[in-house]
Structure 1
């Protein structure tokens, strides 16, 4: 509608143009859903091998229903290529394809409003996800009740309406879900954000939560008595870390009640051990061991976080001190409080557990204490924030594997030293747009299949790549091809001939929009020298 410079428009013109662009985005998102449906149709599970023999070896592709009961099964590996082409992970692509199929097969009225431009596609997709576990009949009832409301109410109201419709559509399922929810008590740790903060979600008995809350309050009050100048909400957050060591927490509670520090002499066992100092080398990585249970290797997503979209109707919380940087840099008062806490920590004895934390940093940051570090399981942190991560216990820094050193062995089995080196070199799996964090349990796959009769040195630093199990299966059985073009770059070729480069900067498509005339999997299947080939 407006092809000129937006800056030349008045306020009404800008609003009109913005609405027109929003409508165009919705139209394109609806078309993308149609593309997902057609792509799924082209990859029906009917074309997959059935029965025994070669076609059903472990790891082979199978049919999967992504959209709920009533949706057709599609080839399990199809979302990997679709996701790579739209710049998202295979898991996100599978969810998107499932939403598209659910709208077409389970929620046809809502789907019609999307096609007519009467409903925002992403809102319709949220309805499809909410109804994923419903039967076809129950989903049809929700479809009938909600179809005319997708764009007429706010997302929060829409969510409540959908929930009520689900309960009415299948009351037995609603009761079962309520009972199942009651059994889902637990403590969940969420992903780290960009500022060194993690969230904890607790589902427990009311009495237990109230007692826990009271203990957190008591620790926060004790910290205030000992001179902590922070507001209550920050002292409560700090109390959570203290509570991880019951003896230390008890000492702080006692000191808070008396207003004085204990005068006991620390035992020999509690004396700080000599700290090993690693000189910064070419491999700018440190392994810091500490008693503080910090960032785990396995990331768990908050159970309430079912969509990546923020709800625009929810106002941000007004928090005291909002906008102030919390970098972990210690003020003089904070330093004195930390010294007192460290003294308490020494008196209460050593912790029974030790946690290994992998901290990646440059030699400059290691020498100066300024800069950015990357903590596995947490993400980027300011160097000053490492104090919060390590805590007050003695810690040791030890030299690590030189990441510039190439390790090679002759066996198929991968030694731990090589596995750890690859984990440090590749913090994320090396499949296009992969999101899985590399751990010591991640699959390490040979880029070129291992040949027991081949030359020595087939298992090495540049000949293995970390892949999550799904990506490993896609590479092995899904007609993808991968080659190493440089020590830092992998070139992946999809079944339909599209190429992607994966390196430390991420994933880039490199085929210049050129498509093979014949998909490579068809060429592979018709190769007379490959009698076992099949799709």
Structure 2
């Protein structure tokens, strides 16, 4: 039995409702969702206002905040020009209470501040439930790097018309508003856009089960003419793979286009280019003779041994000895030896701050009990696996600032206590609030 409630609180069995009543419930659900998202933005703005900048140090910018930069007590300019600064590490307690990552918490606070202070007309539409929060947040995000004057112009240009617009129309309207305000901005934007040029490899798969499955994504952002020319070359090469003597001639066009990338890479300049393979693969020695067995590629997921052999064919692989995960040796120095660092990163796959998923191989190794040099009276054996935890740079700074404290429990979990006394337990299965 499926039961829903209307705004009045009355329970309604929806299994046998007619279309008209069911559509009424759909409309009611949208109103409730807008109210819920509005509350989150209100709370985010109020949290930021309750934790204003101290003015005792220079402010860290959004980019510095994102990569963990700035000092331990550096005010944070997470919103745009004209919005107030917030105190250092104000986002951590807010995000933890919501059960989201720090980055997501920062984004929500930033969007709320930008809407409240830089787009007051659009904010009023959100308050009146005339515009869903996600549309308003999209405007705030697209204008975040612009001046307060530009934000105000966009606010005036869009506020009365964006209630029924989708994302594409909103983006086009913002672009038109910016060009109308400052035609030179278009030229500047073309120059600034080059900063986003790059080639990014992402190891995620569209597999229905959500697993990696040996498929990755290569994203290229660059000059329109050059990228178009490359796409044309890929399409032409894919057409060549349609010939009768090609082993790929029965595959779909899109699959052949993906194959074409590999053909172009290995035939670049008329010379074969032997790829360099760098990944951490864990394989049980007892499975080496079984081609259907699977190993585990760090940051990627499971892969069959036959797939791993295909990748490693013709490349040089380094076989590391089995690491004893029970080893507890200690050293009398700050930096752990290679075996200890590897053990900690294998033990904890990501940053152990609540809800943070930063890969441990990109994290600092933090001394849970702060390290005190021996010549300053520190005890021996401070650097050992039980006293080390991987923390991303931002959360390492946050812990070092003494706002948050944590301990490693005997079962391998971590208990964190925030500046407001709220506690969280980080386990291999996720983060759980103790409040």
Q: TM-score range by the shorter chain?
A: 0.7 to 0.9
User: In the TM superposition, what are the counterparts of 1:148-227 in structure 2 within 5 Å?
Assistant: 148-182=160-194, 184-193=196-205, 194-195=211-212, 196-202=214-220, 203-204=222-223, 206-207=225-226, 210=229, 213-214=232-233, 217-218=236-237, 221=240, 225-227=245-247
Aligned-partner Cα distance in 2 for 1:236–1:384: 26
- Residue in 1 that maps onto 2:323: 401
User: In the TM superposition, what are the counterparts of 1:474-489 in structure 2 within 5 Å?
Assistant: 474-489=398-413
RMSD: 2.9
The alpha carbon displacement at 1:105 in A equals: 0.4
Aligned-partner Cα distance in 2 for 1:375–1:461: 23
SS at structure 2 position matched to 1:459: coil
Aligned-partner Cα distance in 1 for 2:309–2:163: 45
Alpha-carbon spacing, 1:34–1:366, altered in 2? closer, same or farther (3 Å): farther
SS at structure 2 position matched to 1:119: coil
Aligned-partner Cα distance in 1 for 2:201–2:89: 30
1:501 is aligned, of 421, 425, 431, to 425
8 Å Cα contact 1:408/1:460 also seen in 2:
yes
Alpha-carbon spacing, 1:495–1:161, altered in 2? closer, same or farther (3 Å): same
8 Å Cα contact 2:72/2:88 also seen in 1:
no
Aligned-partner Cα distance in 1 for 2:42–2:11: 27
The alpha carbon displacement at 1:382 in A equals: 4.3
Alpha-carbon spacing, 1:361–1:127, altered in 2? closer, same or farther (3 Å): farther
The alpha carbon displacement at 1:496 in A equals: 0.3
Alpha-carbon spacing, 1:464–1:136, altered in 2? closer, same or farther (3 Å): same
1:355 is aligned, of 274, 277, 281, to 277
Alpha-carbon spacing, 1:189–1:9, altered in 2? closer, same or farther (3 Å): same
SS at structure 2 position matched to 1:454: coil
Name the TM-score, length of structure 2 as normaliser.
Answer: 0.83
- Residue in 2 that maps onto 1:448: 369
Alpha-carbon spacing, 1:507–1:211, altered in 2? closer, same or farther (3 Å): closer
8 Å Cα contact 1:372/1:380 also seen in 2:
no
8 Å Cα contact 1:111/1:124 also seen in 2:
yes
The alpha carbon displacement at 1:242 in A equals: 4.4
8 Å Cα contact 1:216/1:240 also seen in 2:
no
- Residue in 2 that maps onto 1:75: 87
Aligned-partner Cα distance in 2 for 1:108–1:433: 32
8 Å Cα contact 1:427/1:437 also seen in 2:
yes
2:257 is aligned, of 215, 231, 236, to 236
Gaps of 5+ in 1: 52-57, 252-347, 512-535
Aligned-partner Cα distance in 1 for 2:287–2:134: 43
Alpha-carbon spacing, 1:201–1:79, altered in 2? closer, same or farther (3 Å): same
Matched residues, number: 403
User: In the TM superposition, what are the counterparts of 1:121-140 in structure 2 within 5 Å?
Assistant: 121-140=133-152
Aligned-partner Cα distance in 1 for 2:283–2:93: 35
- Residue in 2 that maps onto 1:54: none
Structure 1 residues 448-488: Cα deviation after superposition (integer angstroms, max 9, x where no partner): 10122333221111211111111100011051010112241
Aligned-partner Cα distance in 1 for 2:418–2:311: 44
- Residue in 2 that maps onto 1:114: 126
8 Å Cα contact 2:403/2:419 also seen in 1:
yes
1:28 is aligned, of 26, 36, 43, to 36
SS at structure 1 position matched to 2:280: strand
8 Å Cα contact 1:433/1:507 also seen in 2:
yes
Name the TM-score, length of structure 1 as normaliser.
Answer: 0.68
Alpha-carbon spacing, 1:461–1:242, altered in 2? closer, same or farther (3 Å): farther
Q: Which has the larger radius of gyration?
A: 1
The alpha carbon displacement at 1:360 in A equals: 3.9
2:342 is aligned, of 420, 423, 426, to 420
Aligned-partner Cα distance in 2 for 1:14–1:140: 40
The alpha carbon displacement at 1:501 in A equals: 0.6
